[in-house]
Structure 1
């Protein structure tokens, strides 16, 4: 059955595709500002039914104990989604505004493939570890440690990379034996709703194991977080909202996984190929219009090369103009909404007020009267204390800062409330390793190294979050540990 926009206006609750009790809400194409369809508007009653279904499926079925069945269901979902990949690509570009080339990687095909990795984990994980015999208090015992599913997972996801983040939660949670209630962002409901349709119609995943609730009402996320029937809340989004999630979950001592904001540094050492490094920094910050928490948005270069680096980066950004995301050559598409564009434009005003210079960009591009576009922008003339160097902007905005040697570059990178990602460029292996060891961040790329993969744990230090997503570490977030002892 083909996936179409008109089929994306349904919730998935207890195995049934159903209309939202609140009717529907509009889905807007951020590249054209046109309403392209509707999504189901869930209410508090719908969320309550979804949580009840997930609780029932976990407590009354063998889902959490049948590892082979879960692996088969995940592979079944992966293969079914691959059969719809062209339809999903078209709808994802229209809803997210992401450049077409990204759907061949982290915006679609990569996350679908990653479901196979989590299926393999379900089959091959050491669910029981034998600790052998011991004699505590002189009594001989045989001990073992078991890993078990944590229970019902409330997953709350953002709009910037919806498939990647949805599957980074759904995949390991289901593989671990949990049941899930997914509350996706209201800006990108189709990416979740259409997956729900595939789950309901083309897989053997039992009713209630996964429930998908779309809504513009942010109180439903709070309801999901506060409900005592939920055992773990997995949230990706802003640090401010993460604090609220953590505070609400604390009332019931519900476990939380938080993947939050970033203000990552791109460090260029004095022995680096400056032109290549600056070109890569420019490319990184405009990818998907800078709407990624791990994108490097501070370019930190040797002070003696600041003028040259500024010119190189300015020229590189000028060649990466914002444009139509359906065109193959586009790297920088639109921002997700008018609200987000206003937020980015406000930061550009703040940069000028603080004494910064807009080297290129700084506003809406000519010739794109429709769509939420902002031109790729480079800001110079500020230090690391400036707001645009300290706060997450979530737009195609790069701040260039000077450093006075490797240790100063490390200090600038660490002078941030965040610690999510980073890059370092240079040629001396010992100096590169010194920088990698010194920067307090969850991921680091060296000379363009790509850390993103299903088996690589992702997460941050400090206010960038709690826990890890992806990899075995991300899988373990959805497990409890039980020690068992018997007389030997």
Structure 2
């Protein structure tokens, strides 16, 4: 049985155990067995991390020494690439990623993003001279100055932790912020290894701190409520995002919140590859555990029966292909935990009870071993008022909804509290783009267009969150703008 190295805290430049010596079990989603142990930090440990990050920002040259920052972050990036196999092992055995997913967003995607992140950093305009202006008989010279925002609390989810860590922590460090990285309890090692490599790279004390813990809310709430923390960058559920806004309000923190999604794909009747587009809509990547995963499939009434038949065949063909950890062509493994598996099964039962028709899956996959497996699942005859069409399931569940015409498709797509991603497929590109512009969502792919990449801002509308990650806009989340005016 695979057993991974123990995860340590990294606080004030030191790799160490929790102050009280506590540890907790890290469970493999593939087997349901312990795969590692991680330090179980207390409030005392988080207090030390916040104090260290505050000192490093206020009393070191980290915010002002750009050459030093760039060299050390480059070194961290190279160490992460050199330790790819360790990251792969963690992604498989801790997060439950299949090798196909590992080779994309779970490991190789973020490792391949470093060069572009450094390139974007090089475009930051730190000072901008505005036009001189005469006011009350005097000429005033105006200067806009960008400065690092301060101490950042980066709170990471369990689905693609390395991808999200790179998107939050690397821009913040490059810009001169100091960071406290708090992983999800289910996936501590994908963060604690970053602390280990930062120590090896020679990061100054307090610049980056990694604090893991078993209790879901304790450490995060300390970060959110502490006035010494200037920015909270959170990716996770909308419910937790609301809680962060509530308890962070007294300190008026800057918040980046990338929250839930219930994204829709619209496939029009004139799609030249209609069957292919429908068949490729099955929800399987990382068992549907992705905020931007498209889980509502909207198809025209005129081709609805055809779409259902295509999906029946597609799911039947995929039934024996998933659940193989080491297969590079496989993108679907288990859910992260028994708790998540039970949650998804609850939604499947809700779909049945509300009258949706199950055409694939819907069961716990007992033939895959002792882990947390659910079969790829598809419901048809779904209406947009059903629970499975309204709420984020975060599992391998697709719902199929018919529409009458373009206006009806837009109405259904927008009839959601979320607005994170989506797609439109049509033989008429102009038509597809017109529809895409009317969907209230942060990213839309047209005819297979890639709307998410390292150089593109990512974030949602409505209850899918606030702010942007990745791209230049993602860097700007960690900057303040100061105006300096001088009377000539």
Give the TM bin, normalised by the shorter chain: over 0.9
Task: Give me the whole-angstrom Cα distance separating, in 2, the residues matched to 1:106 and 1:369.
Answer: 25
1:367-415 Cα shifts (integer Å, max 9, x gaps): 2241100001110122001010010000000000001111211111000
Q: 8 Å contact 2:443–2:452 — kept in the other structure?
A: no
Alpha-carbon offset, residue 35 of structure 1 = 0.5
Q: 8 Å contact 1:100–1:326 — kept in the other structure?
A: yes
Alpha-carbon offset, residue 327 of structure 1 = 2.4
- Does residue 20 of structure 1 match 2:18? yes
Name the structure 2 match of 1:278.
278
Name the structure 1 match of 2:301.
303
1:169-208 Cα shifts (integer Å, max 9, x gaps): 101111121000011101000000011101101x132111
- 1:118-197 to structure 2, matched below 5 A, reads 118-197=117-196
Task: Give me the whole-angstrom Cα distance separating, in 2, the residues matched to 1:102 and 1:368.
Answer: 18
Task: Give me the whole-angstrom Cα distance separating, in 2, the residues matched to 1:390 and 1:133.
Answer: 53
Task: Give me the whole-angstrom Cα distance separating, in 1, the residues matched to 2:332 and 2:120.
Answer: 35
| RMSD of equivalent CA atoms | 1.2
Name the structure 2 match of 1:114.
113
Q: 8 Å contact 2:41–2:213 — kept in the other structure?
A: yes
Alpha-carbon offset, residue 105 of structure 1 = 2.0
Name the structure 2 match of 1:407.
407
1:202-244 Cα shifts (integer Å, max 9, x gaps): x132111110000012211101100000001111100000000
SS at match of 1:169: helix
SS at match of 1:140: strand
Task: Give me the whole-angstrom Cα distance separating, in 2, the residues matched to 1:237 and 1:388.
Answer: 19
For structure 2, list consecutive stretches of 5 or more residues without a partner in the other structure.
Answer: none
Task: Give me the whole-angstrom Cα distance separating, in 1, the residues matched to 2:278 and 2:120.
Answer: 39
Task: Give me the whole-angstrom Cα distance separating, in 2, the residues matched to 1:407 and 1:104.
Answer: 39
Task: Give me the whole-angstrom Cα distance separating, in 2, the residues matched to 1:329 and 1:318.
Answer: 17
Q: 8 Å contact 1:160–1:292 — kept in the other structure?
A: yes
Alpha-carbon offset, residue 136 of structure 1 = 2.1
SS at match of 2:94: helix
- 1:282-297 to structure 2, matched below 5 A, reads 282=282, 285-297=283-295
Name the structure 1 match of 2:465.
465
Alpha-carbon offset, residue 55 of structure 1 = 0.3
- Does residue 228 of structure 1 match 2:212? no
Alpha-carbon offset, residue 366 of structure 1 = 4.8
Alpha-carbon offset, residue 124 of structure 1 = 3.4
SS at match of 1:106: helix
Task: Give me the whole-angstrom Cα distance separating, in 2, the residues matched to 1:17 and 1:433.
Answer: 51
SS at match of 1:319: helix
Q: 8 Å contact 1:390–1:416 — kept in the other structure?
A: yes
Name the structure 1 match of 2:448.
448
Moved more, 215-224 or 50-59: 215-224
Task: Give me the whole-angstrom Cα distance separating, in 2, the residues matched to 1:306 and 1:112.
Answer: 41
1:275-323 Cα shifts (integer Å, max 9, x gaps): 11112211xx210000000000000000111111011112212222341
Name the structure 1 match of 2:82.
83
Q: 8 Å contact 2:103–2:328 — kept in the other structure?
A: no
Q: 8 Å contact 1:318–1:360 — kept in the other structure?
A: yes
